[in-house]
Amino acid sequence: MIGLLGGTFDPVHFGHLRPAIELLEALSLTEVRLVPGRLPPHRPQPRLTPARRRQLLQMAVADIPGLVVDGRELDRIGPSYTVDTLRAIRDEVGPTEPICFALGSDAFCHLMSWHQWTSLTQYAHLVILTRAGHGGGMPAALNDWVARYAVQSASVLRAEPAGRVYRQPVARLEISATSIRQLFAQGRSARGLMPDVVWNELAGSGEYGYPQVST
Q: Which residues bind ligand ATP (CB under 6 A)?
A: 5, 7-10, 15-16, 19, 103-104, 106-107, 129, 172-173, 175-178
Which residue has the CB atom at the shortest distance from ligand ATP?
104
Nearer to ligand ATP, 10 or 73 (CB): 10
Nearer to ligand ATP, 6 or 98 (CB): 6
CB of 88 to ligand ATP, least distance (A): 19
d(CA 89, CA 186): 40
CB of 181 to ligand ATP, least distance (A): 7
CB of 129 to ligand ATP, least distance (A): 6
| DSSP summary character for residue 211 | S
Distance of CA 157 to the CA centre of its chain: 19
Residue 62 contacts residue 15 (beta carbons within 8 Å): no
Residue 197 contacts residue 59 (beta carbons within 8 Å): yes
CB of 139 to ligand ATP, least distance (A): 16
Nearer to ligand ATP, 131 or 213 (CB): 131
Name the burial class of residue 1, with classes exposed (0-12), middle (13-18) and buried (19+) by CB atoms within 10 angstroms of its CB.
middle
Nearer to ligand ATP, 57 or 213 (CB): 57
Nearer to ligand ATP, 120 or 155 (CB): 120
List the alpha helices (DSSP H) in 27-126.
50-61, 72-75, 82-93, 105-108, 120-123
CB of 16 to ligand ATP, least distance (A): 5
Angstrom CA distances, 201 to 60, 126, 212, stand at 11, 34, 16
d(CA 84, CA 203): 35
Helix (H) and strand (E) counts in the chain: 10, 6
CB of 108 to ligand ATP, least distance (A): 8
Nearer to ligand ATP, 12 or 162 (CB): 12
